[in-house]
Amino acid sequence: MNAPAVAAPMPVLDGWFTLDAERPQLLGNRCARCGTVYFPKLKSGYCRHPDCDGDAFDEVPLSRTGTLWSYTNAAYQPPEPFAQVDKDAYRPFAIAAVELAAEQMIVLGPVVDGVGVEQLKVGMTMALKLEALADGKLTWKWAPAGAMA
Amino acid sequence: MSRDIAILGVGMHPWGKWGKSFVEYGVVAARAALVDAGVKWRDVQFVSGAATIRNGYPGQVAGATFAQALGWQGAQVNTSYAACASGSQALAAARSKILSGECEVALVIGADTTPKGFLKPAPGDRPDDPDWVRFRIGITNPTYFALYARRRMALYGDTLADFAAVKVKNAAHGYTNPNARYRKKFTAEDVAASAMLADPLRLMDVCAVSDGAAAIIVSSVDYARRLGKAGAPRVAAVSTVTPTFASALVEMPDIATDSAIAAKAQSFRAALPAKAYAEAGVDPADISVAEVYDLSTALELDWIEDLQLCPRGAAARLVREGATTIGGRVPVNPSGGLACFGEAVPAQALAQVCELTWQLRGQAGARQIDNARVGITANQGLFGHGSSVIVKR
């Protein structure tokens, strides 16, 4: 007898991050010539560094943790394609800009449910997590590293 | 040899939500600018239109659309699209034509009708479109302004009261401006009572979108002399530089900066006026008035520092001291800024130049700055577009 199939959660964007439930990572790519990292992955095939002729790229997972550069929230429900809920059911969520030291870049993302702006402070360490949007699709989110198991 | 061109006339259609075609607004502004210049429409040799892509045809053919509406008279034509900097790019096109001797007098014009409701991406799944991606995960335009504002609070100790002070100052400036859409004085309490939009920014910290039009008649300095307008304000610089890799800030609609592994991180906003200062041979200390793109109250503080009107981090103190208020050392947004106008994208950069022109001529009425001699504008929009214009007399 077969157990009923449980559908694996689908990512909101294919190939943008690993689906490792414990230690997810964003997926970028890196110019083999100058080392510049791109997130999202550069698809043109030509490095954007003005002095670099690089045209070969390797997929790289980005650092799982970084420093909170700044933060805000969405007090009103963002418009589509953000997955909509009833106006009354909408709860503001925080948004973080996190600086990754190795990649020397800042990456935005929503903050995990239950962590509001009052719990955030510029300079704190943030870690990557996966969490579902209202339509069940998984996205990357940032969480204060202290809150991680 | 002088690289200046003369501003003979300026005109605007008041900002608002009028429910009419952008063409009508543009004609009103153009006719006002022609009267102000004392130039006949038939004498205009080049029409330089600032386009918006929002309204589709015929918004995309701004130059020709306005030339036809004013009455075809055989002038050469050009249309510029550069998001919020479209007006400055149209001005740059006219300046090049004049300085190369291809024409002597030109009309530069921009007008917009804003769509109903909030801006959002077109339907359909487009994972390769950064604008679609950021809305998909809940990142809207105010997100970016709020991230910059919070960063100022963390780095420099700016407060919500500092941001509110910018709104209160701009509301007081625009109160008597006949072209402003919002003419109401606000208090810090009013700002604090408005709803939170994107923490730490409230609804009253962020600008609206509006209908409006601005037009400028520019000419060679020789032509101005022949008209008896040798003393007309001059355009001394038009900077429309693109960013330099690697970007230091996350810019709308991106979700990440460039990686600065192989190139130093650079500020785009600071580069815009730097080029204008170099081109005009003007020092930031010479500036008597500035019109900057206050998409948010906190962003006005960033611009004040990008314009080098004070050291990095000192803009809030400048506002607190009243230095940026009319009557202060270097008034910022005497027109009332976007706070009082709302943004009419292809017209806005030209509206900034109109205000500087009135200020430098001493015709700004109740919002007049004493002895304004050199003014600068600054703005930035999507897709690596931005501008800074210096006007002097």
Whether pLDDT at A88 is above 90: yes
DSSP state of A134: T
Whether pLDDT at A84 is above 80: yes
CA-nearest of B335, B338, B333 to B304 is: B333
Alpha-carbon distance of B78 to B54, in angstroms, equals: 18
Amino acid making up residue B111 = A
Instruction: Say whether B241 sits in a helix, a strand or coil.
Output: coil
Whether pLDDT at B155 is above 60: yes
Q: What pLDDT sits at residue B57?
A: 52
Token representation of residue B278: 């170099």
| Shortest CA gap A94–chain B (Å) | 9
Q: What pLDDT sits at residue A90?
A: 97
Alpha-carbon distance of A27 to B347, in angstroms, equals: 41
Alpha-carbon distance of B33 to B74, in angstroms, equals: 19
Alpha-carbon distance of B347 to B113, in angstroms, equals: 10
Share of chain B above pLDDT 90, in %: 89
Q: B196 - beta bridge partners?
A: B202
Strand order through the sheet with A105-110:
A105-110, A93-100, A65-74, A125-132, A138-144
Asked if A48 and A42 count as a contact pair (C-beta separation under 8 A), the reply is yes
Asked if A11 and A17 count as a contact pair (C-beta separation under 8 A), the reply is yes
Asked if B79 and B64 count as a contact pair (C-beta separation under 8 A), the reply is yes
Whether pLDDT at B377 is above 70: yes
Whether pLDDT at A148 is above 50: no
Alpha-carbon distance of B338 to A53, in angstroms, equals: 42
Query: Does residue B136 belong to the interface with chain A, where contact is any CB pair within 8 Å?
Result: yes
Alpha-carbon distance of B59 to B366, in angstroms, equals: 35
3-state secondary structure B281-348: CCCHHHCCEEEECCCEHHHHHHHHHHCCCCCCCCHHHHHHCCCCCCCCCCCECCCCHHHHHCECHHHH
Asked if A9 and A137 count as a contact pair (C-beta separation under 8 A), the reply is yes
At A108, phi and psi to the nearest 5? -85, 160
Task: Tell me whether strands B105-112 and B46-50 are parallel, antiparallel or unpaired.
Answer: parallel
Amino acid making up residue B178 = P
Q: Please state the rounded mean pLDDT for residues B338-363.
A: 96
Q: What is the pLDDT of residues B13-59, one digit of tens each?
A: 999 999 999 999 999 999 999 999 999 999 999 999 998 765 545 55
CA-nearest of B234, B204, B207, B238 to B222 is: B234
Alpha-carbon distance of B151 to B144, in angstroms, equals: 11
At B104, phi and psi to the nearest 5? -110, -30
Share of chain A above pLDDT 70, in %: 93
Cα torsion angle, B164, B169, B172, B178, sign: negative
Q: What pLDDT sits at residue B357?
A: 98
Q: What is the pLDDT of residues B267-317, one digit of tens each?
A: 999 999 999 999 999 999 999 999 999 999 999 999 999 999 999 999 999
Q: What is the pLDDT of residues A12-63, one digit of tens each?
A: 999 999 999 999 999 999 999 999 999 999 999 999 999 999 999 999 999 9
Asked if A129 and A72 count as a contact pair (C-beta separation under 8 A), the reply is no
The dihedral region occupied by B233, where left means phi > 0, alpha psi between -120 and 50, and beta the remainder, is beta
Instruction: Say whether B144 sits in a helix, a strand or coil.
Output: helix
Query: Does residue B154 belong to the interface with chain A, where contact is any CB pair within 8 Å?
Result: yes
Q: Which residues of chain A does B244 touch, with a Cβ-Cβ cutoff of 8 Å?
A: 50
Alpha-carbon distance of A82 to A133, in angstroms, equals: 8
Query: Does residue B122 belong to the interface with chain A, where contact is any CB pair within 8 Å?
Result: no
H-helix or E-strand spanning residue A101: none
Residue bearing tokens 């962003």: B299
Q: What is the residue-averaged pLDDT of chain A? A: 94
Query: Does residue B135 belong to the interface with chain A, where contact is any CB pair within 8 Å?
Result: yes
Q: Which residues of chain B does A75 touch, with a Cβ-Cβ cutoff of 8 Å?
A: 195-199
Whether pLDDT at B369 is above 90: yes
Which of A72, A77, A82, A104 best tests the B interface by mutation, with the highest count of B CBs <10 A? A72
Q: What is the residue-averaged pLDDT of chain B? A: 95
Q: What pLDDT sits at residue B54?
A: 58
DSSP state of B84: G
| Shortest CA gap A119–chain B (Å) | 13
At B247, phi and psi to the nearest 5? -65, 135
Q: What pLDDT sits at residue B119?
A: 64
Task: Kindly provide the ipTM of the predicted complex, given to two decimals.
Answer: 0.94
Chain A residue with minimal CA distance to B137? Answer: A82
Alpha-carbon distance of B301 to B113, in angstroms, equals: 28
Alpha-carbon distance of B132 to B164, in angstroms, equals: 32
- 10 Å CB burial of residue B219 (0-12, 13-18, 19+) is buried
Q: What pLDDT sits at residue A149?
A: 39
